[in-house]
Amino acid sequence: MSKNAKVAAGGVAVGLILLIWLPWWAALLIVLGVPTAAYLALDPGQRRRLRRATRKEIGR
């Protein structure tokens, strides 16, 4: 199993656990809020580099 497949499987597992454990709106808030907060934590140069990168390059 590739690294990306493991990350995707882990994300799905965490999402399902959150949906069972929390109300749907709280799980949705966490699933959307964590990546958004991580993106906003980057400085402007890192954001620019991330936007320029293709999806294949992000994993390197």
37-41, 42-46, 53-57: which has the minimum mean pLDDT?
A: 53-57
Alpha-carbon gap, residue 58 to 49, rounded angstroms: 10
Within 10 Å of residue 18's Cβ, how many Cβ atoms? Answer: 17
What confidence category does residue 37 fall into, taking pLDDT thresholds of 50, 70 and 90?
very high
Give the pLDDT of residue 58. Answer: 63
Alpha-carbon gap, residue 30 to 22, rounded angstroms: 10
Higher pLDDT, 28 or 10: 10
Give the pLDDT of residue 41. Answer: 94
What confidence category does residue 60 fall into, taking pLDDT thresholds of 50, 70 and 90?
low
Give the pLDDT of residue 59. Answer: 61
